[in-house]
Amino acid sequence: MDFPQRLIEGYSTFLSERLPREQSRFRALAESGQRPEIMVVGCADSRVSPEVIFDARPGELFVVRNIANIIPPYEPDTRSHGVSAAIEFGIFALQVKHVVVLGHAQCGGVRAFAEDGEPLTPGDFIGNWMKLLAPAAAKVDRAKLSPADYLTRLEQANITNSLANLMTFPRLAKLIESGKVATHGAYFGVATGEMSVLDRASGEFRRVAAEAYAQALKAPRF
């Protein structure tokens, strides 16, 4: 099969629009290396691109994406841990100051976990991966919630659980405790475009930039 035409077209648009604006920045980043201050752990979902949502320029965000934006706990064994390797690189090589776990509404990974109570076959990567959601699910009282509310609460509990798992990395926990690295949870409403951020004191997710959001909805589209 040919290389997708959609990508050729997108690259052509990048060459005519973004590259001219960013060329000096790309050159400087190539010479001096990247120095992003923010790491984002997001879902691989095609609707939740951190660079798009946060309007990021080249070199600004160090991004790792996986199914359901999960940070696994610290497991120093001989297996290959892609997310943990990315965290190690972001924290200790790039020395990012912030780690943001970005979850989202209508997360297919979270829904799959909620709907398939039974574990999938042992050889199934997704089934095994989604088991990492179990500690989050244990904190949400499903019986008291509508199916839609349950998914939202589970998506948000998954963010909180990923942040808790960051604290199981011993060297990182020290940096967080001493205030050198800050961790944050964020939740993006795919249909609405609303963004909420975890309030550590209450454990609730609270809207941010609500005024800008209201303005955006008020502005005439065309």
CB of 166 to Zn ion, least distance (A): 19
How many residues lie near Zn ion (CB under 5 A)? 3
Quick note: the x/- pattern for Zn ion over 112-151, rule CB under 5 A, is: ----------------------------------------
Contact predicate 70/162, CB 8 Å: yes
Comparing CB distances to Zn ion, the nearer of 43 and 114 is 43
- From 36-44, 71-79, 117-125, 199-207, span contacting Zn ion (CB under 5 A): 36-44
- Sole window of 105-113, 162-170, 201-209, 211-219 interacting with Zn ion (rule: CB under 5 A): 105-113
Q: Does 96 bind Zn ion (CB under 5 A)?
A: no
CA 107 distance to own-chain centroid: 12
Residue number with CB closer to Zn ion (22 or 51)? 51
For residues 70 and 166, which CB has a smaller minimum distance to Zn ion in the complex?
70
Please, which residue, 110 or 172, has the CB nearer to Zn ion? 110
For Zn ion, which stretch binds (CB under 5 A), given 24-32, 52-60, 102-110, 115-123? 102-110
- Judging by beta carbons within 10 Å of its beta carbon (0-12, 13-18, 19+), is residue 115 exposed, middle or buried? exposed
Shortest reach from residue 68's CB to Zn ion, in Å: 5
Compare residues 94 and 112 and give the one whose CB is closer to Zn ion: 112
Nearer to Zn ion, 43 or 130 (CB): 43
Among 107, 136, 172, 181, binds Zn ion (CB under 5 A): 107
- Does residue 43 interact with Zn ion by CB under 5 A? yes
Q: Got the DSSP string for the chain?
A: -PPPHHHHHHHHHIIIIIHHHHHHHHHHHHHH----SEEEEEE--TT--HHHHTTPPTTSEEEEEETTS--PPP--SSS--HHHHHHHIIIIIS--SEEEEEEETT-HHHHHHHH--S---TT-HHHHHHGGGHHHHTTS-GGGS-HHHHHHHHHHHHHHHHHHHHTTSHHHHHHHHTTSSEEEEEEE-TTT--EEEE-TTT--EEE-SHHHHHHHHHS---
- x/- binding map, residues 45-64, to Zn ion, per CB under 5 A? x-------------------
Report the alpha-carbon distance of residue 69 to residue 166 in Å, rounded. Answer: 13
Where do contacts with Zn ion occur on this chain (CB under 5 A)?
43, 45, 107
